[in-house]
Structures are given as C-alpha cells and as structure tokens.
Amino acid sequence: MPKLHANLPPCYDLARQLSAYLDGELPADLCHDLEAHLGGCPDCRVVLDTLGRTVQIVHALSDTPVSLPADVEARLLSRLTGA
C-alpha cells in the first residue's frame, strides 16, 4: 500500500493512535508526529474532531447518570482535567 505522506505516518497507523492521543496516552514523540500529520491531512482532522467531540459530549454528560464503565470514565476525566 503506497504511503500518502512520505515523511508522516500513514492514515491507517494514525487512526489507531487517535484514541490514545485523546486519552493522553500517546508518547510525546508520537503526539508530535500525529499533530504534524493532522496539519496536512484534512481527513484525519475530521476523524480527530469527531472523536474529540464525542469525548466532550461524554464529559458534558458526566453530571448525569451514564452507564460508562468506571475505568473509561476515570481515563476520560483524567484526560479532560489534565490530571
């Protein structure tokens, strides 16, 4: 499969890293690569934006009862608060 971005991670690899990125679990060097790729790849920015909005929605709902697994909620809150 040809790479779309010679010096940047291909979209397929990036997509697998986006959730880790949003969870704050992606190593700093990979964050840098990902952000560089996002700067030149509108498709991936749409994906990240959609995922990010989902995280925000979950956060907005955190004051109301939601059936979110405790560990997932903890990770989301940790990410959103920067703790």
Helices 11-22/28-40 angle, 10° precision:
120
Residue with Cβ nearer Zn ion (30 or 58)? 30
Query: Considering only residues 34, 41, 48, 76, which one is a binding residue for Zn ion as defined by CB under 5 A?
Result: 41
Q: Which of 11, 26, 30, 47 binds Zn ion (CB under 5 A)?
A: 11
CA 21/CA 55 separation, integer angstroms: 12
Q: Is 8 in the site for Zn ion (CB under 5 A)?
A: no
Report the candidate in 67, 61, 64, 66 with the shortest Cα–Cα distance to residue 80: 61
Q: Would you tell me which residues interact with Zn ion (CB under 5 A)?
A: 11, 41, 44
